[in-house]
Amino acid sequence: MEIPDSMIAACDPSKQVVVLTGAGISAESGVPTFRGEDGLWKRYRAEDLATPSAFQTNPKLVWEWYDWRRGIIGKAEPNPGHRAIAEMEGIFPHFCLITQNVDGLHRRAGNTEVIEIHGNLWDLRCVAEGTVREDTRVPLPEIPPLCECGALLRPHVVWFGESLDQEDLSRAYRLIEGCNLLLVVGTSAVVQPVASFPLMAKQAGAFVVEVNMDPTPISPLVDVSLHGKAGEILPALLEKIREYWGRGDGA
């Protein structure tokens, strides 16, 4: 994969860098989308289970599905694309990652400056108190899990029909509008409001790069569109950045 010189020159370590990731990067770790054909489970679709009404009607069924998902995702490992993004956090002092993924693989790879805009599958939230705690046990010993207060716990993710966390969304907007470089990795760019982020960054003057297996609706609009595996392109990009800018980890 040939990486244009203009792209390497845009990766200035003194600038604000934002990486936006979607399901494509996790697919390279073997994580299915859990939507469409991949989303079928006991004849249910993801869209039928990941809703507040489904949880209210049958929390045990919803949690059985999520426990199954957690079992699959728990076996996945961060791939070279995840690890390259984690290394970028050490190279760029002004860096943030915005991810649509709920699998937690970016944090496992080493990223700390992360906005998980759709939540995290490994966090559980009390429906009564709103408190959030991490629980990585697979399988969960109790379905549905309960809070110490006796109320139900739910996955701390954004379900169909729910709004994104306003604090996370506001911070994401500020970062997108203020960044100098935006890397869009493994997202189809069709789910709003995140689908609007690349265009927002472009209109604000950022250099926008897309890394995806196939062309997407934003491909004609970005500065550089690289087609291929993130696990191959991002490590190669990282090497080029180090060569051009003379930066190492933590520099």
Average pLDDT over residues 33-43: 69
DSSP 235: H
pLDDT > 60? residue 250: no
Question: Which pLDDT belongs to residue 247?
Answer: 52
Statement: residue 6 has pLDDT above 80: yes
Mean pLDDT to the nearest integer, 136-144: 97
- Region 113-129: mean pLDDT is 98
Mean pLDDT of the chain: 93
pLDDT over 70, % of the chain:
95
Beta strands in 81-148 (DSSP E): 95-99, 114-116, 119-126, 132-134
In angstroms and rounded to an integer, the radius of gyration of the C-alpha atoms of the chain is 19
> Could you report the per-residue pLDDT of 49-103, keeping only the tens digit for each?
999 999 999 999 999 999 999 999 999 999 999 999 999 999 999 999 999 999 9
Residues 124, 135 contacting (CB under 8 angstroms)? yes
Dihedral sign (CA 117, 119, 125, 128): positive
User: What is the per-residue pLDDT for 99?
Assistant: 98
Give the pLDDT confidence of 190-220 residue by residue, as tens digits.
Answer: 888 999 999 999 999 999 999 999 999 999 9
Residue 36 pLDDT: 59
**CA distances in angstroms from 62 to 35, 157, 177, 187, 199, listed in the order given:** 15, 13, 37, 26, 36
- DSSP letters, 184-202, are EES--S-STTGGGHHHHHH
Q: Which residues are catalytic?
A: 118
The DSSP-derived string for 9-37 is: HH--TTS-EEEEE-HHHHHTTT---SSGG
